[in-house]
């Protein structure tokens, strides 16, 4: 009997130890591991090729113009992204500022976020003669003191904003299309006296974001290579690029 007990005790001990060591393995993480490391945005390591600019590249359009800068992120001779700035004003009433990122190489995809956006129309009447229609959205902080109507509810997709130290997860939503970073429409159109239509529309989620990161991936030979752009956006059309990186 003693011999049987002595045999059973070690067996039970092995079972208990194995059971305990297996529990942590069953805990699933949502973070993406590459090369055995959690991919952390802004992290400079041996497996990420980082290009830090001596001075920030500024892409900022002057009034009545647009400008852009194209980049070969992975240095293979093929242009991958274009940062685009537009500041348009015309005698007809157009007045808007816009910053965008354009995808030039279709194997590159940008991590995005969806945002609801509803347009409203505010009708204001003064002295029974002057009629002003203000078209605005829920991000413009315009307050209607007249007759408010709702129209054109939409959902727009924008590049997601990351901070240094954020981790890549399996829940990212990827798109390889041109995307707005920030947009402000202050156009005003006169359609005969006395009717005026004024725009107060703000879109995008990058305006006044300072030293933030835009995340992207490159799909090549069945594998994903992740990277980032380190950006600041000011006054809707002003872009500053400080750094870009991609996995080796």
Separation CA 110–CA 81 (nearest Å):
10
Separation CA 44–CA 54 (nearest Å):
16
225, exposed or middle or buried, with CB in 10 Å at 0-12, 13-18, 19+? buried
pTM of the model: 0.83
In this predicted structure, the answer to whether residue 37 has a pLDDT above a threshold of 70 is no
Separation CA 181–CA 179 (nearest Å):
6
pLDDT above 90 covers a percentage of the chain that reads 69
Separation CA 92–CA 86 (nearest Å):
17
The arithmetic mean of pLDDT across residues 212-233, rounded, is 96
Taking only the tens place, the pLDDT of each residue in 97-142 is 999 999 999 999 999 999 999 999 999 887 766 688 999 999 998 9
pLDDT above 70 covers a percentage of the chain that reads 83
Separation CA 34–CA 128 (nearest Å):
67
């Amino acid at each position: 009997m003693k011999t049987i007990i002595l045999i059973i005790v070690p067996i039970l001990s092995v079972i208990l130890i194995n059971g305990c060591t297996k529990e942590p393995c069953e805990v699933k993480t949502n973070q993406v591991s590459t090369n055995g490391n959690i991919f952390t945005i802004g992290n400079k390591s041996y497996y990420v090729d980082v290009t830090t600019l001596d001075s920030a590249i500024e892409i900022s359009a002057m009034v009545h113009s647009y400008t852009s800068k194209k980049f070969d992120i992975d240095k293979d001779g093929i242009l991958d992204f274009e940062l685009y700035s537009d500041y348009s004003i015309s005698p007809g009433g157009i007045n808007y500022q816009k910053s965008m990122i354009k995808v030039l190489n279709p194997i590159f995809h940008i991590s995005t976020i969806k945002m609801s956006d509803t347009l409203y129309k505010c009708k204001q009447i003064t002295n029974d003669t002057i009629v002003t229609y203000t078209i605005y959205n829920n991000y413009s902080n315009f307050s209607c003191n007249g007759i408010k109507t709702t129209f054109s509810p939409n959902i727009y997709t924008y590049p997601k904003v990351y901070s240094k130290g954020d981790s890549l997860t399996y829940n990212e939503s990827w798109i390889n299309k041109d995307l707005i970073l920030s947009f402000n429409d202050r156009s005003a159109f006169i359609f005969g006296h006395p009717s005026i239509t004024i725009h107060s529309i703000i879109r995008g989620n990058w305006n006044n974001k300072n030293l933030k990161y835009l995340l992207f991936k490159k799909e090549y030979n069945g594998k994903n290579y992740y990277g980032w752009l380190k950006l600041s956006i000011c006054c809707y059309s002003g872009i500053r690029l400080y750094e870009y990186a991609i996995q080796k």
